[in-house]
Structure 1
Amino acid sequence: MTHVLQNVVFPLDRDPDLLPLYADPETWSVIDEEPVRVSNRAHLGNILGRHRARIVSGRRVSLGTYFNAFPASYWQHWTGVRQVRLTVHTSGPATILVYRSNGQGVRQRIDTREVTGEASTPFDLSLNEYSDGGWIWFDLVADEKHATLEGAQWTTDQEPVRHGKASLGITTYNKPDYCVDTLKALADSPDALEFVDRVFLVDQGTQLVAEQDGYAEVAARLGETLQVIRQGNLGGSGGFARSMHETLQRPESDFVQLLDDDVRLEPESLRRSIVFARYATTPVLVGGHMFDLLDRPKLHGWAEVVDEHPFMWRNLYQEKMPHDFGAANLRQSPLLHARMDADYNGWWMCLIPLDAIREVGLSLPAFIKWDDAEFCLRAGEAGFPTVSLPGVALWHVSWVNKDDTIDWQAYFHARNRIVAGLLHSSAPRGGRLLKHSLRVDLKHLMMMQYYPVALRARALQDVLSGPAHMRQNLASAMPEARELAGHFPETIVHRDPNRVLHSRKGRQVFKRMKQHDFDSPTGLRLRSFTMRTLLAHWLRSPDPANVAQPEVEFGKGDAHWWRVPRFDSVLVSSADGSGKNVYTRDRAQYRRMLTESVRLHRRLRRNWPRLQAEYRAALPQLVSDDSWRRIFEEQA
């Protein structure tokens, strides 16, 4: 029996920014070792349908793109498939050229065929030379007349290791419009829907999906496949745990596919992730990449890892991300041809085998932040690795216009990182985790950001209280963190058009730096700067004039920890640009918080071995299906 591993697809959105992810008709050159596009030939009018595209006479179009090239290295490394067949369906005179790349992105021709009329042209391809990386793709060249690509598939006759379907788990809080759009995309994609058992939409908000325009129609189309579950707000971890719990009751499901709510889905990606998981030699988690929903050719991460000693997440090749496919497409990006192994994948899109959940439990009751990374680390330790699979992706509202490290989420950033470190770090006393955590507090204090420091102190106190607090405050930690903001004037975003705030000395202007380049102090200069700044803030009171009115103004992108502390007060644009925040130095608050931060971090370091033993002993119960079931019943 022939099994389709991957379909060639095209976008149906009338959005020209999407085209580079699906087809590349452009001519490229290289200047100073950087790719440069020297043509502008992509036109929406040449997209004829979900699987069809026109090749204009005399033109060449490459399918060596993110969504339409075949990630051969991942299939060779993670599955037992060694033979695939590419079948290209065309009409009209054309030349088909099949290429491969290696892990360095070097292109090599595999085969060439000339076709006329209506043709289905097969290419049998071996997957045995892609251990370090590499893709396979094809180009189409039209002759004197237009040609049409009628469709193409990557298939195998090999049977999958597993045959079960996936249930989808969508967790939402007041994003009903996004959810209805996702449901419509699923209903419009029978190729993907045939692999889906149930869609569990866990609605934790007050703006209900069931009351959104268009919901009734799409719910009728999906029928019993869609199940909407109402529960109190238990955060992302509580919503996804509910989907895991419900999927465990489904004998037809072998996997649960977690999806965030504020996303735009590429349904073919959903299908590909399930098929890949079916073929994996051993059960794996299959993660999807994240494109920026507001800048759609821009990819924010290829593979994510957790560095052991600071115990902090990051992108592999952080300095190369985000990657803009409009500026450098797949064939012009050698780094993206290497196989990259991930430690975890964000739960904007992540498929998890039920075998893993049965063995390691459900998500940690973390509310938000680190629940995805912690679960993937836990699963990896039990023999269930995470694969961030190229060609599997969605569009998610990015964090470009957010700064959740200084709002109520600072509590969860701090607490859950330390808890994850207690559970999974093998470094003595957490390695550099606590030193790094203290540095985060120092930076906030120097920048007069007292609210996140207060939240982080509460987080450390809760960690010290033991693992039971995670279940006890699952539903209350977020509202309590938000309530605390009322005690800190810096959290007020000033948006009143009738009272525009101005600073005494005007806006500070700085030289524009390249991406990932900073003019921050390093080495001995950093130590000297930190000590001088901490001492100055301890000893010197702010000028009353600067308390009455902000001394200077900063743009959000310029308000760094090595610039802001030189002033008594600053006016800073909010992350989304909707208003401004005022940060004013408070010597008494600074002294109290600095002392408390040092004391709490010392306590954590001193008690690390005991806490590590307690949290690891409590983990099986914290993440058990029975424990989560009781939480759901309590919140019903």
Structure 2
Amino acid sequence: MQKAPLANVLVRTDDFASGYPELYYRAESAAYDKDTGALSFSGTVDFSTYFNALSLEKWKRYTSVGVIKLELEVAGDACDIFFAELREDADVASIDSMPLLACGQSEDFCSYVMELPESDAPLVSFVIKSGGTSFVRSARFFTEVEESAVRAVRLALCTTTFRKEEFVIPNIKAIKREVLGSDEPISKSFHMYVVDNGRTLDAEDLSDEGVTVIPNANTGGAGGFARGMLAALGSNATHVLLMDDDVCVSPESFKRAFNLLSLVNDKYRDAFLNGAMLSIDQPALQYEDVALVRKDGIYDKIKPDLHVDRIHDLVKNETINVEVANAYGAWWFCCIPVTAIRRHGLPLPLFIRCDDVEYGMRCQPTMMCMSGISVWHDSFEGRFRASVDCYQYVRNFLIMIAVDDKSSEHMFMLRLSRTFNIYLRSMNYESAELLLDGLEDYLKGPDYLAKINGEALMKRNGAKNECLVSITELDKNIMSQVDIDHAYLG
């Protein structure tokens, strides 16, 4: 039998979610102690949370796990460890009355291993109750399986970036430190490719044995991810993980993805694994994980917005079925088997928008997702750009319909007509024009798409985007006829 890791328990909050400890633990009095590298707490600490509850039902469904065990290191005053279950329609975890283990007082950290009881709950976790002040330095869930049940996974992470150094460089450093520098199985079977469409990164300085920065022409997200896929195909990778450049991520998400793929059963060996998108502005708000394309010519997320720091929403997140027709995973965090790339080819050269949607419709994968595998991303509200949300969306969605035939072209054109008329009535003529431009360029056929310079096209269309300007820059003749309350303007 071989020991196989499932998930590490995070006792320290990620910096960008430090104000939301309920994503990691719930406690009346708890703080991370840098001197001991442990979580110090008094009374009770509950790990029934988004990052630290184990998605038991999904581990059983996706993999061939055996008996699941919990290993942890504790010190300090005597404490008891209790088993907890998270079930549907419950607002709190159900905690066993009898402890799994009673730990005596100890100034030194002691390691304990305990077997978790059989359960049919969607998620399980544990609670520690201390008689005074105790410390948890580490904890992890693992299983024991036959050596033949562990797949040889080699994971290639591909990030396509365009001048997003403020995100990309910290992510590279965190991966080098906590993934490649760890003592876990992933450290020897992981490589990060950074496709630099802006050519502003110091490739020589940032690259090493575990990270490769690839200067690239600005071919958009579609071209950048295609370049990353080619790099992975040229290596010995078994899976390619596509990830946006403007995200914050906990390195534990990579580890859990790797552990899941290492144990995945035959039914799910060809499935895509998609990470959820949490909001950077509201770190406990999950915006989306898996989406689908509807017959009426629109793509939509499968789950509603969920506040995953709440037990009810956390369980709902794990019990909503994402294995539906025409499902796909957005490329802020989407793990694709190399076998699928060899079978279905590279992304269409759409530059940006709908590239991930079209690829999902072409591959028609079974989708997997799991709490704790996620990124924090800027929300989409307030980010409307007509050059992208009108031109690119219309042109590329119509291309997807023509190529994959997963939506009604008739319904899409009805929606397009309605949107066009709304823009006309609201005098949003630039957006209306870009809708028509997208339609016209689609009708030019595939030869036009093959020859167009995507970067130049984006710049030209970007000039039509609505923008805010100072009132002093507006036409003086027109403004002289407008009754403006200058006192109100300040």
TM bracket (short chain): 0.7 to 0.9
The alpha-carbon deviation at position 494 of structure 1 amounts to 0.8
Matched position secondary structure for 2:360: helix
Aligned counterpart for 1:230 among listed residues 212, 215, 225: 215
Aligned counterpart for 2:163 among listed residues 150, 167, 174: 174
Aligned counterpart for 2:18 among listed residues 4, 10, 16: 16
- Tell me the residue number matched to 1:123: 114
- Tell me the residue number matched to 1:592: none
Q: Provide closer, same or farther for how the CA distance between residues 172 and 338 of structure 1 changes in structure 2, counting only shifts above 3 A.
A: same
The alpha-carbon deviation at position 146 of structure 1 amounts to 0.4
- Tell me the residue number matched to 2:368: 387
Aligned counterpart for 2:468 among listed residues 493, 506, 516: 493
Say whether residues 1:151 and 2:138 are aligned partners.
Answer: yes
Provide the C-alpha distance between the structure 2 equivalents of 1:372 and 1:126, rounded to a whole number of angstroms: 40
Aligned positions of 1:552-631 closer than 5 A: none
Q: Provide closer, same or farther for how the CA distance between residues 115 and 304 of structure 1 changes in structure 2, counting only shifts above 3 A.
A: same
Provide the C-alpha distance between the structure 1 equivalents of 2:436 and 2:372, rounded to a whole number of angstroms: 41
Aligned residues: 464
TM-score by length of 2: 0.85
- Tell me the residue number matched to 2:291: 304
The alpha-carbon deviation at position 239 of structure 1 amounts to 0.5
The alpha-carbon deviation at position 414 of structure 1 amounts to 1.2
Aligned counterpart for 2:201 among listed residues 183, 199, 209: 209
- Tell me the residue number matched to 1:247: 232
Say whether residues 1:185 and 2:174 are aligned partners.
Answer: yes
Provide the C-alpha distance between the structure 1 equivalents of 2:252 and 2:41, rounded to a whole number of angstroms: 22
Provide the C-alpha distance between the structure 2 equivalents of 1:270 and 1:495, rounded to a whole number of angstroms: 45
Provide the C-alpha distance between the structure 2 equivalents of 1:154 and 1:435, rounded to a whole number of angstroms: 51
Say whether residues 1:347 and 2:331 are aligned partners.
Answer: yes
Contact 2:303–2:317 (Cα < 8 Å) also in 1: no
Say whether residues 1:411 and 2:391 are aligned partners.
Answer: yes
Aligned positions of 1:507-546 closer than 5 A: none
Matched position secondary structure for 2:26: coil
Q: Provide closer, same or farther for how the CA distance between residues 14 and 286 of structure 1 changes in structure 2, counting only shifts above 3 A.
A: closer
Aligned counterpart for 2:441 among listed residues 456, 459, 462: 462
Say whether residues 1:136 and 2:118 are aligned partners.
Answer: no
Contact 1:89–1:120 (Cα < 8 Å) also in 2: yes
Provide the C-alpha distance between the structure 2 equivalents of 1:187 and 1:545, rounded to a whole number of angstroms: 58
Say whether residues 1:315 and 2:301 are aligned partners.
Answer: yes
Q: Which amino acid aligns with 1:272?
A: R
Provide the C-alpha distance between the structure 2 equivalents of 1:232 and 1:47, rounded to a whole number of angstroms: 46
Q: Provide closer, same or farther for how the CA distance between residues 13 and 334 of structure 1 changes in structure 2, counting only shifts above 3 A.
A: closer
- Tell me the residue number matched to 1:515: none
Q: Provide closer, same or farther for how the CA distance between residues 15 and 432 of structure 1 changes in structure 2, counting only shifts above 3 A.
A: closer
Matched position secondary structure for 2:50: coil
Residues 31-81 of structure 1: CA deviation (Å, up to 9, x unaligned): xxxxxxxxxx465x435489731121xx21111111111111221222222
Matched position secondary structure for 2:231: helix
Matched position secondary structure for 1:157: strand
The alpha-carbon deviation at position 176 of structure 1 amounts to 2.0
Say whether residues 1:290 and 2:256 are aligned partners.
Answer: no
TM-score by length of 1: 0.67
Provide the C-alpha distance between the structure 1 equivalents of 2:29 and 2:459, rounded to a whole number of angstroms: 47
Aligned counterpart for 2:59 among listed residues 53, 71, 75: 75
Contact 1:21–1:65 (Cα < 8 Å) also in 2: yes
Contact 1:82–1:127 (Cα < 8 Å) also in 2: no
Q: Which amino acid aligns with 1:341?
A: V
Residues 417-448 of structure 1: CA deviation (Å, up to 9, x unaligned): 22222333455x53622222222222222222
The alpha-carbon deviation at position 468 of structure 1 amounts to 3.2
Say whether residues 1:438 and 2:417 are aligned partners.
Answer: yes
Q: Which runs of 5+ in 2 are unaligned?
A: none
The answer to which structure has the higher strand fraction is 2
Q: Which runs of 5+ in 1 are unaligned?
A: 26-40, 503-543, 553-570, 572-636
Provide the C-alpha distance between the structure 1 equivalents of 2:159 and 2:35, rounded to a whole number of angstroms: 28
Provide the C-alpha distance between the structure 1 equivalents of 2:45 and 2:313, rounded to a whole number of angstroms: 15
Provide the C-alpha distance between the structure 1 equivalents of 2:372 and 2:192, rounded to a whole number of angstroms: 22
Contact 1:411–1:455 (Cα < 8 Å) also in 2: yes
- Tell me the residue number matched to 2:310: 329
Provide the C-alpha distance between the structure 1 equivalents of 2:15 and 2:461, rounded to a whole number of angstroms: 43
Q: Provide closer, same or farther for how the CA distance between residues 546 and 196 of structure 1 changes in structure 2, counting only shifts above 3 A.
A: farther
Q: Provide closer, same or farther for how the CA distance between residues 444 and 393 of structure 1 changes in structure 2, counting only shifts above 3 A.
A: same
Provide the C-alpha distance between the structure 2 equivalents of 1:14 and 1:334, rounded to a whole number of angstroms: 24
Say whether residues 1:372 and 2:365 are aligned partners.
Answer: no
The alpha-carbon deviation at position 310 of structure 1 amounts to 1.6
- Higher Rg of the two aligned structures: 1
The alpha-carbon deviation at position 234 of structure 1 amounts to 0.7
Aligned counterpart for 1:199 among listed residues 192, 206, 227: 192
